[in-house]
Amino acid sequence: MNEVITNNPKKRDEALAALHQVIDPEIGLNIVDLGLLYQIDFDEGNKIVFISMTLTTQFCPMGDSIRSNAGQAMQQAFPDYTIDIDLVFDPPWSPERISEQGQEFLNR
Amino acid sequence: MVVNTNNNLVQNTTHKVVIPFYVYAGLSFLTATVLLFLSDNAFTQHYFQPRTLAITHTMALGWGTMIILGASHQLVPVLIEAKLFSNALAYASFVLAAIGIPLLIYSFFQFQFNGIAQAGAVLINAAVVCFVLNLAASILKSKNKNVHAVFVFTASVWLLATTVMGFLLVFNFTKNILPKDSVRYLSLHAHIGLVGWFLLLVMGVGSRLIPMFLISKYDDAKTLWLIYFLVNGALISFIVLFFSAVDSFFYTVPLTAVLLALLLFANYCREAYKQRIRKQVDKQVKISLLSVAMMLLPLIFLAALIALLLFSFANTKLVLAYGFSVFFGWLTAIILGMTFKTLPFIVWNKVYHNRAGLGKTPNPKDLFSESLFQKMGLAYLAGFGLFTAGILLGNTIVLQIASVLLFITAALYNVNILKMLRHKPLIK
């Protein structure tokens, strides 16, 4: 799995723990292990968390819902922050981005 | 506070456009099985007769084409990663086809090729023109033109060729606009539709969806292009041979090309299956994969037909078995599988789109009954196998039992669709 870029490794882990609760309904796997997250940056001055993430396809019918769920999960974990989620499709998602745990889950 | 700065998501085609096609198709399948039950004798006689024509067109237009038109409005944006050009054109294609198809089928059933049949043919052609224009405009606007999109667009052009030819055949019954009688052109009309429209489209969409649903890393555009040229080459050579009035032997050329394309496609699906990341394959995808194998059955019947024609021996049972195995076998199997892979997403999105994040939502696959789906699959396999045997044996009792099983298949399919469409949100 590609590493999630961040300017705050400690808070990134906290964010990943929250985002672990967000599941892609079709695949049944959480968005962290699915490799949908690219970047999580914290702007401490303005209290904003910037998240850059993707979807398995740009047309994903669940796209809006997954983004919305990710926003809710982050808001609960960081109530004092504004959550700004950017959907990007370059580079596109590929199955190589699935983590080892994710692959194990899907191979069951 | 959550803010979203961009909206890079490709906008889904609204469910209001897509769902009517699915409902219409389901009801057409049910109608076809009722007609099948009432027409068991038709399958022990020559294929050119009112009930066979009516059933064939109910399956080809009402079932196969309507569901593919509906699904295409949803899936083409997936393939080209761009929004559908026009919802209005999509609505127009539904309304025109929905009125035109019963008019045509009624006329076939009555064996009258008068104004009603002609009006039906005109409306169906208008529907297809709306569809082709919509697809062309969507693809032109998209930056992503891939092999799958080329398959779908070419298939839609062959669909137009099929319906234009059907239109000419209907008018030819009363006005003699073609050099020969309409019956002479039936095999040409049928094969442009089967190979150009259905086969090309199923391969184009299937080659994208099957790896996607299996979460497979497999991708091989070169093989897909080869398949594309084999199928189109086969069809063009078939048309040339048809008008050259050559010996039956030469028809083995397009037949071989299609067989090769099918084997390549089957291998493509096998590779995607082998390289899948998700080990567990759901039943809907299994039925769709089974339909790939079922593509070979019509080809076996066709090869037997050509072999018999070499000895100037026409076998109507084989012709009927061939047509039946295409519409009730291969096409129906793929539709039964793919409906329950695509429609749950459409309904889920309709119901839960604005409720995400408010609580735990069910998964799309929970919107229909798995147990009904299984029963439907069993009834279908038994019904299809028995009916094919009934045609070959010329046994009306076997045909009647099989048609009851196929009716049960269609009824269970419709009940499950209704269950999905009536789904109420579990969170408010």
Over chain A, what HEC string results? CCCCEECCHHHHHHHHHHHCCCECCCCCCECCCCCCEEEEEEECCCCEEEEEECCCCCCCCCHHHHHHHHHHHHHHHCCCCEEEEEECCCCCCCHHHCCHHHHHHHCC
Q: The complex's ipTM?
A: 0.75
Write down the pLDDT at residue B319. Answer: 86
Q: Tell me the average pLDDT across B391-415.
A: 95
Side-chain half-sphere CA neighbours of B336 within 13 A: 35
The alpha-carbon gap from A13 to the nearest alpha carbon of chain B, in Å, equals: 20
Nearest CA in chain B to A66: B356
Residue A84 in domain:
yes
- pLDDT, tens digit, for every residue of B50-71? 888 999 999 999 999 999 999 9
Given an 8 Å threshold on Cβ–Cβ distance, is A82 in contact with B3? yes
Q: Tell me the average pLDDT across B278-305.
A: 84
Distance of CA B270 to the CA centre of its chain: 21
Identify whether A79 is preceded by a cis peptide bond (ω within 30 of 0): no
- CB contacts of A68 in chain B (<8 Å) are 2, 356-357
Nearest CA in chain A to B14: A61
Taking one residue from A and the other from B, the number of pairs with CB-CB distance under 8 angstroms is: 104
The alpha-carbon gap from A42 to the nearest alpha carbon of chain B, in Å, equals: 14
Write down the pLDDT at residue B54. Answer: 93
Predicted confidence (pLDDT) at residue B124 exceeds the cutoff of 80: yes
Q: B322 to each of B192, B389, B426, how far by Cα in Å?
A: 15, 12, 46
Query: Would you place residue B273 in the very low, low, confident or very high pLDDT band (cuts 50, 70, 90)?
Result: very high
Q: Strand A37-43 and strand A48-53: pairing?
A: antiparallel
For residue B81, give the nearest of A58, A86, A96 by CB distance: A58
Does residue A62 sit at the B interface (CB-CB below 8 Å)? yes
Residue A95 in domain:
no
Query: Would you place residue B1 in the very low, low, confident or very high pLDDT band (cuts 50, 70, 90)?
Result: low
Least confident of B198-212, B314-328, B379-393: B314-328
- pLDDT, tens digit, for every residue of B146-162? 899 899 999 999 999 99
Side-chain half-sphere CA neighbours of B397 within 13 A: 0
Domain B11-352+364-418 carries which CATH code?
1.20.210.10
- At B46 the three-state DSSP class reads coil
Residue A62, domain CATH? 3.30.300.130
Range of the domain at A77: 5-88
- pLDDT, tens digit, for every residue of B2-39? 666 566 666 678 889 999 999 999 999 999 999 999 88
Predicted confidence (pLDDT) at residue B101 exceeds the cutoff of 90: yes
Distance CA B229, CA B235 (A): 10
Write down the pLDDT at residue A49. Answer: 95
- CB contacts of B212 in chain A (<8 Å) are 56-57
Write down the pLDDT at residue A30. Answer: 92
- pLDDT, tens digit, for every residue of B234-252? 999 999 999 997 887 888 8
Question: What percent of chain B is modeled with pLDDT above 90?
Answer: 56
Distance CA B256, CA B267 (A): 16
Give the start-to-end residue ranges of the domains of chain B.
11-352+364-418
Q: Tell me the average pLDDT across B380-387.
A: 95
More confident residue, B222 or A61: B222
Residue A80 in domain:
yes
Write down the pLDDT at residue B258. Answer: 93
Distance CA B192, CA B158 (A): 6
Predicted confidence (pLDDT) at residue B271 exceeds the cutoff of 80: yes
Residue A103 in domain:
no
Predicted confidence (pLDDT) at residue B315 exceeds the cutoff of 80: no
φ/ψ of A61, rounded to 5, equals -65, -20
A 31-60: CB under 8 A from B: 55-60
Average pLDDT, chain B: 89
For residue A95, give the nearest of B1, B78, B215 by CB distance: B215
- Contacts with B397 (C-beta within 8 Å, 6 or more apart), sequence order: none
Q: Tell me the average pLDDT across B346-368.
A: 80
The alpha-carbon gap from B274 to the nearest alpha carbon of chain A, in Å, equals: 13
More confident residue, B313 or B206: B206
Distance CA A96, CA B300 (A): 40
The alpha-carbon gap from B11 to the nearest alpha carbon of chain A, in Å, equals: 7
For residue B353, give the nearest of A64, A72, A84 by CB distance: A64
Residue A104 in domain:
no
Averaged over successive runs of 10 residues, the pLDDT of chain A (108 residues) comes to 80 92 85 94 93 84 81 91 90 88 84
Given an 8 Å threshold on Cβ–Cβ distance, is B277 in contact with A95? yes
Distance CA B37, CA B402 (A): 9
The alpha-carbon gap from A5 to the nearest alpha carbon of chain B, in Å, equals: 19
More confident residue, B36 or B350: B36
Write down the pLDDT at residue B46. Answer: 67
Q: Quick check: B75 and B148 in contact, CB under 8 A?
A: no
Residue A101 in domain:
no
Write down the pLDDT at residue A24. Answer: 86
Given an 8 Å threshold on Cβ–Cβ distance, is A58 in contact with B8? yes
Q: Tell me the average pLDDT across B75-99.
A: 91
Query: Would you place residue B286 in the very low, low, confident or very high pLDDT band (cuts 50, 70, 90)?
Result: confident
Nearest CA in chain B to A74: B2
Write down the pLDDT at residue B296. Answer: 84
Residue A93 in domain:
no
Q: B15 to each of B188, B337, B352, how far by Cα in Å?
A: 36, 20, 12
Query: Would you place residue B294 in the very low, low, confident or very high pLDDT band (cuts 50, 70, 90)?
Result: confident
Six-digit token string for B399: 């045909």
For chain A, the domain total comes to 1
Nearest CA in chain B to A108: B279
Predicted confidence (pLDDT) at residue B400 exceeds the cutoff of 70: yes
- At B11 the three-state DSSP class reads coil
Write down the pLDDT at residue B141. Answer: 85
- pLDDT, tens digit, for every residue of B177-190? 888 888 889 889 99
Query: Would you place residue B351 in the very low, low, confident or very high pLDDT band (cuts 50, 70, 90)?
Result: confident
